[in-house]
Structure 1
Amino acid sequence: MNRSSIEKRQQRRTFLSLAVLGLVVPIAPLAQAASPSKPVVQIWIVPSCGCCKDWIAYLQANGFQTQVDDRGNTDARERLGIKLEYGSCHTALVGGYALEGHVPAREIWRLLKERPKAIGLAVPAMPLGSPGMDGPEYRGRKDPYDVLLLAKDGSSRVYQSYP
């Protein structure tokens, strides 16, 4: 036997001995533990806005991690390429996509699954009944609204309607 095959046998014996003793840890579970199981949503808000905080709590309850910057969202909206006409009280970023306003979690999950070539999603203004705008203070009132898919050319199309 040459030196290389002797070293390989010794390594295999050492590995097997450690495995029997339970000292070898499979790599896959470690990799899964190290990666976040929930997408992180970066959110820019005005600190005094209650509906923004309600939307953040809604996202957390629907499987997202959140990071909040309470210095306003105007600069973030502009930096992410969202036109003012699609504006709302908060701006966010998840998985490389911009979110503007009270976007439902269902549509965010869909966006992350479908991965369209787009800037992101927007729910312009602050429609009653949308996530974060559905608290008891609104007494069950609901406005119909559309979630818009914002294209990179500045146009938009309805991604999902909420009648």
Structure 2
Amino acid sequence: MSNAWRAASVQESLFGEGDPLAGPEPVLMALNPDYYALFWRHAKVHEFRRRFIQGQPTRWFVYLTAPASRLGPVIDLAPAIVDSPARIAEIADRVRQGNGSTVLEYVKDLDQAFAIPVRRIREYPGLSLAEVRAELGRFHPPQGYVRLRQHPTLLRLCERIAAGEPVREMAIDGEHRRCA
């Protein structure tokens, strides 16, 4: 296969530029503002979950829980590391000493758990919970994760928030990851 053909095939889509199936899987998940702040201090470079999407990168639209109660940050995630709770806890502990015991307590009753590497964070002004509800008619922050392709109106709102200029952004490189 020629390099020219390979480059063209990567750039083009069967459905044109607006291909809803291209790129990372868009998800909405809630996050405590205290945990969100840890990302910015490089004290948290993975998101730990009891269940998550396997085998593909995701684009996480973050709903920050109270007291922030707003939709605004966007985090690019690499494919999840899926392993035993003990191994996932080891990953947590390598990045932030002592965090492994907290993560293990969270996932200890499972056969497998998820450590999802963070690649990039962008923070947008976003919308408050009241503004999101005014736009959508109703909105309940998710307990787990929501695949946004199954909720096109919510996906459009999230994409609109992320279309603006970020207030701040940061890439997480391998130097800050220290594991996986």
TM-score, normalised to structure 1, is 0.25
Query: When you count strand as a share of all residues, which structure comes out higher?
Result: 2
TM-score, normalised to structure 2, is 0.24
